[in-house]
């Protein structure tokens, strides 16, 4: 089980308990909840509407790819702890992480 605390784009909070499934992205999980995530490109790292910020717990993840970094550089409000949730695959490394869904401008 993977526990993730989520602050939504409108500032509300929820805690997700996810069965470990290595073949799905974090975006795919977040999109099933009403948290204001658009994920317009469907996970191709082309739109930036799945932008999340790790408040904690992102340190052990594989680093962003060149394509993910290129998209993040174009997003307002992006920082060192930003990720595209469509590029973050579910793993136990996400357990106990705390993320914020970034608003779409
Ligand atoms: S869904 Fe478009 S960049 Fe992640």
Rg, C-alpha atoms of the chain: 12
Using a 6 Å cutoff on CB, does residue 94 contact ligand 1? no
**pLDDT tens digits, one per residue of 46-81:** 999 999 999 999 998 999 999 999 999 999 999 999
CA distance 92 to 2: 6
Q: Of ligand 1's atoms, which has the minimum distance to the CA of residue 50?
A: 4
Say yes or no: CB of residue 27 within 6 Å of ligand 1: yes
pLDDT digits (tens, 9 = 90+) for 69-78: 999 999 999 9
What is the predicted pLDDT for the residue at 30?
Answer: 94
Domain architecture of the chain: domains with CATH: 2-101 (3.10.20.30)
- Mean pLDDT calculated for residue range 38-49: 95
- Is 48 touching ligand 1 by the criterion CB < 6 Å? yes
């Amino acid at each position: 089980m993977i526990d993730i605390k989520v602050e939504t784009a409108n500032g509300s909070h929820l805690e997700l308990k996810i069965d470990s499934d290595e073949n799905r992205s974090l975006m795919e999980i977040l999109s099933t909840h009403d948290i204001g995530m658009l994920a317009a490109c469907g996970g191709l790292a082309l739109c930036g509407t799945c932008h999340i910020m790790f408040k904690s717990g992102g340190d052990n993840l594989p680093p962003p790819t060149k394509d993910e970094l290129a998209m993040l550089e174009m997003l307002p409000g992006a920082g060192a702890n930003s990720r595209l949730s469509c590029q973050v695959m579910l793993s136990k490394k996400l357990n106990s992480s705390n993320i914020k869904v970034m608003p779409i401008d």
